[in-house]
Amino acid sequence: MSFSSRTLQQAALGCAVVLGAIALRVFRAKRRAKLPPGPPGVFFFGNLFQLSARVWLNFETWKTLYGPVVYLDIAGQPIVVLNTPKATADLLDRRAGLYSDRPRNIVASEIMTGGLLVVFSRYGDIWRRMRRAAHEGLNKSVAHKYNAIQSKEAILLTHSLLENPTAWDTHFRRNAASVVLSMVYDMPALASEEDPKITLINDFVARLVRAAYPGAHFVEYFTWMRYLPASVAKWKRVALEQHKQDDAMFRGLFNEVADRVAQGDQRPSFCATLLEQEDRHGLNEKESAWLAATLYAGGAETTSGVLAWFLFDMLSFPEAQTRAQAELDAVVGRSRLPTFADYDHLPYLRALIKEVLRWTPVDPLGVPHRLIDDDYYEGHWIPKGTIVIGNVWSMNRDAEIYGADAHLFEPRRHLGADGRLTGVGAGTKDEGHYTFGFGRRICVGRHVANDSLFIDCASILWALSIEPIMDASGTPVLPSADDSIDTGLVLRPPKFQCAFRPRFPDAAGIVASTKELTA
């Protein structure tokens, strides 16, 4: 069957008309669809100068003025802030395929970490394989493999606080780093925070944070500079050299485990699990080494930060400390330290830890997401490339979820009338807070982190009373959350002093003897 030239021309014209009509409809729809509401900005810079050091408080204010979804323009970069669990679940959870990317960071992510630091990695095949491997090595059903390590470290931490209470922050940092090193690389407990392994990883994290800080490198704004040769671009030369050094360090740590596994040493560690399952995940040596590095770099700093807030909260809210200690006395008694066997019988203590994570999250804005394509939400247009921030601070203190006292520290909000833990907060995956993140980017190590926090806090509260120091007039000196400091990776409380006192005469001796038995 054949068509005349005139017929073909008519058909082509008809198609062009239809396609033009569709394109015009899409264009008009975008013109009609408004951006979400937000504060007015200034020419070129937009809302840049309206952001303070504690920007989550700005966002909290704008929530009351503009609603759950707030639009900002930061020197041409569109940003959307999600302030409610509903908006966050609708977008970051239910539309995760669109919202699971990360903003591009040329120096910190693409060059310094080769795109392999999972928390910064772009959404794609490598990220999926690494995320799947991390989930299988750290999910709730296998987290118990690390309980022996966590228990031993909790005893060492409690003993350190008894021996040298003024250095509590150092003890927390050593404990968190040692737990992660043991879990990830099967290393023995670290003796000191000054251990070179901690120094090296702290240096890596500090360099990464500096490189990722907005304005640190012009290449983030003038992306063509990415292709400058290293010989004429010092920033690129330095970043490449640092990647080379860090890659050698992380591969060396990973290959130490590989050598032990090859010799038949099958002690549990995350790297050992990666090696056992390498065929299924399809990760090469470098990808596996950097996946392990991600857990090391991120896990230690966040856990020590939460422990610092735990101490702050026990000073600030002594009634919660007293109630948790009464529960420990009733369940554990005073002849032994708590263990993971007590976990199900200590609901108030677990609620207290949830409240520590809720009341002052160590990452009040989470890690930003990036929208892969244009999207529409409740009549508003969100353009492709928008950076999307889940305001964890606002959601963790949402009065519609946590009640009129959401701004107060109250562990009992996580307990039902029967005294059992209850799932407060929609979309929290039973965590009771939003601190671990959202969607496909939710913290993959949260189950292991919860276990570490449980045994650490249980051991400390069982053995010690945490008390404020007194000034010259005998008045308790309490720290203020308004003075919290941000070290770059996590939000920490201000430096403060406190006193530790053994709760009963045999406490110090039991801790010391238990330490000897587990050495």
Binding residues for heme: 443
**What b/e string do you get for 473-511 counting C-beta neighbours within 10 Å, with b at 16 or more?**
eeeeeebeeeebeeeebbbbbeebebebeebeeebbebb
Three-state SS sequence of 175-221 = HHHHHHHHHHHCCCCCCCCCCHHHHHHHHHHHHHHHHHCCCCCHHHC
Beta bridge partners of 375: 382
The contacts of residue 328 (CB under 8 Å, 6+ apart) are: 338, 346, 349, 458, 461, 462
Q: Which residues are annotated as a binding site?
A: 443
Distances (CA, A) of 407 to 307, 372, 403: 20, 35, 9
Place of tokens 């926090």: 453
Which one, of 430, 408, 429, 428, lies nearest residue 420 by Cα?
430
b/e string for 146-167 if b means 16 or more Cβ within 10 A?
A: bbebbbbbbbbbbbbbbeebee
101 forms beta bridges with: 370
Tell me the C-alpha distance between 128 and 238, whole Å: 29
461: exposed, middle or buried (Cβ count in 10 Å: 0-12, 13-18, 19+): buried
Neighbours of 298 (CB within 10 A): 21
DSSP-assigned letter for residue 421: B
